[in-house]
Every structure is written in C-alpha cells, then in structure tokens.
Amino acid sequence: MHRESFPILKKDIIYFDNGATTLKPFEVVEAMEDYYYNYGANIHRGDYDISLKASNKYEEVRDKVKHFINADSSREIVFTSGDTLSLNMIVFGFMEDYLNEGDEVLLTKSEHASLVLPFMELAKKKKIVLKYVPLTSEHELTLENLEATITEKTKVIAVAHITNVLGDVRDIKKITELAHQKNILVLVDGAQSVPHLKTDVKDLDVDFLTFSAHKMLGPTGVGVLYAKEKYLEAMRPILFGGGMNQYFEEDGTVEYKSIPTLFEAGTPPIAEVIGLGRAIDFLEEIGMDNIYKYEKELKEYLVKKLENNKKVILYNKKSESGILAFNLEGVFSQDTAIYLDHYNICVRAGNHCAKILKDELNIRNTCRISLYFYNTKEEIDKLVEVLEKSDELYKIII
C-alpha cells in the first residue's frame, strides 16, 4: 500500500525492520521542509506572523494527537524527544513521588529496556519492588498470571501493548479493568502498538501511554507522553528551562506554567512535531484498522511460507502483530542478517533491547522481521526464496 510515497523503496530495498524505525514518506519530509524553508521561527515567542504560524501548526498537532488516540483533552498530550524520555519523565516525575518503599511494580521479561531500566533505577532509589509476571509457554502475558502476581502492595502495572521482540498483543482493556478495581495504575508503552493498531486511550482506560513518532512514519527526535489529566497535574517536570516557567526571582521564587507546557522546557522539536502531524494524517488516510488487518494478513502469509523451511526456527508464530522472530538452525543471528543484507533485505539481529527475555526463550539473539503496510507478499516471497538457499550462506558472507 502507498509504496509510491516512499522514495527509498525505489532503490530495490526490502525493508523489514519497522520495529526499529519506519521509512518516511515524502509527505512527512515535505511538511518539515515547508516549516524550515517558509516559516522556520521559534514558537510561543514572537509577535510576528511566521512565529504565530509556527506556534499554531505546533499546537494543531497536539489536537491531532488528541484525536488520534482519543484523549479527553489536548492538555493531556506532552511532546517529548521520544518514547524513552516519555517513560523516564513518568517514572522520575510521577512514580518517584507516587510509590513508597515496599510498593510493587509489575513488569514482564519481554519488556523493552526503556521501560525496565527507569524502574530499576527507581527501585534502587526508593526501595520499591519490581516483579515480573510469569509468561506462558508461548511467552505471552495472561490475565490469570497477572492477577495471581498482584498483591496488596501492587501499585503499578507497566507493560507494552505490543512487545518488540515477540509481537504479542496484550489485552490492555482487560488489564486496566482488573487493575483499576484494585487501585493499581497502568502505564502502557505504545511504541510498537500505536503505529500499527487503533489506540483509544478512553476505551482502553490507560493511565499513561507513551510512543515515538519515528516508528510511525514520523521523524526521529519526537515522541508523545499521554497521561490522564489528574495524573499529569500531579507530575513534576524533570527538565527545567525556558518556555516552561511563568516567572522566577533571584531569591528562588519560581512559578511554572500549567500542563502540558510545563513539561516542554527549551525549544521543542518544532519541525519534528509538524512532521508527526503529517504522519498521523497519512496513517488516518489509510485507516488504522486497515493497517492492522493488512499486517496480520502479511504475517500469516510469512509464517505459512517459512514453516515449509525446515532450517528456520520460528519463535512467535501465533502473536497477532507484524513481528516475527526467527533463527536459521545453527547460524548466529547476525550472520543471517548479514546474509540477507547481501540481497538488500533489511532485518534486525540481536536481543532487541529486551535483554532479560533470554531467560524466557533460552536463546539470547534472534533475527526479527517487523512488517508495515508498505511491505508486500512479493517481498516476503523474495525473503523466503533467499532463506531457502541458505546453504550458500557462508559462501556469501565470508
């Protein structure tokens, strides 16, 4: 779908690393270029026309994001430098005050470093307890296991909506239902889900949601932090500077602005936010439901084809997203990735920033294929064909 918008696809490249970052359509880059060339002023500052235009465009994107994830108000949308900063802001600006010694935070072993590490640091500081909810034999999170891990001390559940190695889709709505009955907050990392399926924060009833623009056609350097207004009001900024204060005095008196501006110290990534806005338009033109349906269809096709190859080990056949982790029997994942690169097929090799997942899989490294709507069955056929003749692998890479 819409391959003509992606200049890089004209270069005979097969891009299967969308979990790392997606390709950028011409329209997104054009919107950023338009800002830089035609109204490239700072925002919230000048009384002149192009500064007002830049401010309006920037704030329009906040509304776009609000509609895109169906938030109650644009006040709940904070622009950050990406998913990692969003998560760190929540952990060190909110959780640090909210959690007390002995309180428990539930995670799983398939979570990304950006979710686990801030909590690990906080655990050292505040003596909170991190618990990992056991996963099933298919490495998935079930409501039963989650419920069984909850104790009276459990205050927060922090999980990805879709995990980045195994691509399993969590039933967030059921999780929040269960959590909220027990006064537990739910933080959802949407980095791998918001780009791929319709995310409705009201319907899911999540308390916090984070994601990055660059995994959804947008530029690098910008992400979103969503929190229910009452929690955002209770959150402290962790970055201080221009743009976020009302006034400050020599004696230390300072008054900060209100949410969400309070959390956007310094000149924000203006062009990038504008690019994100165009990316959202692009995704909505296709329709998030169509994107999800198409990716699932591609994944099923990919699994069906690869199952015929005895040398291929698949780790997550059943997960309902466009992510497939695999290895070639007896071959180190990186060697497989280098072999595929020889045919201009881009896949990721490694532990994919989920370093503790090795305990679950009994294997440290995998190759990961992560699909997006511009991938095709023809590209999958090419991958399957190249993996079929992998007896030649060492001839190619050495």
What track of x and - describes contact with another protein for positions 378 through 397 (by CB under 8 A)? ----------------xx-x
Q: Which of 350, 356, 382, 384 binds another protein (CB under 8 A)?
A: 350
Spatial contact of 80 and 224, defined as CB atoms under 8 Å apart? yes
The yes or no reply on residue 344 touching another protein (CB under 8 A) is no
257: left (phi over 0), alpha (psi -120 to 50) or beta: beta
What is the 3-state composition of the chain as percent helix, strand, coil, each rounded to the nearest 5? 45, 15, 40
> In the bound complex, what is the minimum distance in angstroms from residue 349's beta carbon to another protein?
7
Q: Which of 108, 365, 370, 390 binds another protein (CB under 8 A)?
A: 365
Please tell me the count of residues contacting another protein according to CB under 8 A: 15
Question: Going by DSSP bridges, is the β-strand pair 154-160/104-107 parallel, antiparallel, or unpaired?
Answer: parallel
What track of x and - describes contact with another protein for positions 194 through 223 (by CB under 8 A)? ------------------------------
Q: Which of 335, 346, 376, 388 binds another protein (CB under 8 A)?
A: 335
Taken in order 18, 21, 27, 28, is the CA torsion positive or negative?
positive
The yes or no reply on residue 20 touching another protein (CB under 8 A) is no
The yes or no reply on residue 330 touching another protein (CB under 8 A) is yes
Q: To 5 degrees, how large is the angle CA 84–CA 86–CA 90?
A: 115
The yes or no reply on residue 327 touching another protein (CB under 8 A) is no
Distance CA 160, CA 192 (A): 8
Taken in order 174, 175, 180, 182, is the CA torsion positive or negative?
positive
> In the bound complex, what is the minimum distance in angstroms from residue 313's beta carbon to another protein?
15
Question: Going by DSSP bridges, is the β-strand pair 185-189/154-160 parallel, antiparallel, or unpaired?
Answer: parallel
Spatial contact of 145 and 196, defined as CB atoms under 8 Å apart? no
Annotated catalytic residue 346: no
Window contacting another protein (CB under 8 A); options: 89-97, 281-289, 296-304, 347-355: 347-355
What track of x and - describes contact with another protein for positions 108 through 147 (by CB under 8 A)? ----------------------------------------
Q: Which of 334, 343, 356, 376 binds another protein (CB under 8 A)?
A: 334
Spatial contact of 108 and 132, defined as CB atoms under 8 Å apart? yes
Q: How far is CA 215 from the centre of its chain?
A: 7
SS3 85: helix
Q: How far is CA 183 from the centre of its chain?
A: 26
Taken in order 281, 299, 342, 13, is the CA torsion positive or negative?
negative
Given the complex with another protein, which of 26 and 394 has the nearer CB atom? 394
> In the bound complex, what is the minimum distance in angstroms from residue 319's beta carbon to another protein?
22
Catalytic-labelled residue, pool 113, 353, 363, 397: 353
Distance CA 291, CA 372 (A): 8
Window contacting another protein (CB under 8 A); options: 252-260, 297-305, 308-316, 331-339: 331-339
The yes or no reply on residue 398 touching another protein (CB under 8 A) is yes
Q: Which residues of this protein are in contact with another protein, per CB under 8 A?
A: 330, 332-335, 338, 349-351, 364-365, 394-395, 397-398
Catalogue the active-site residues: 353
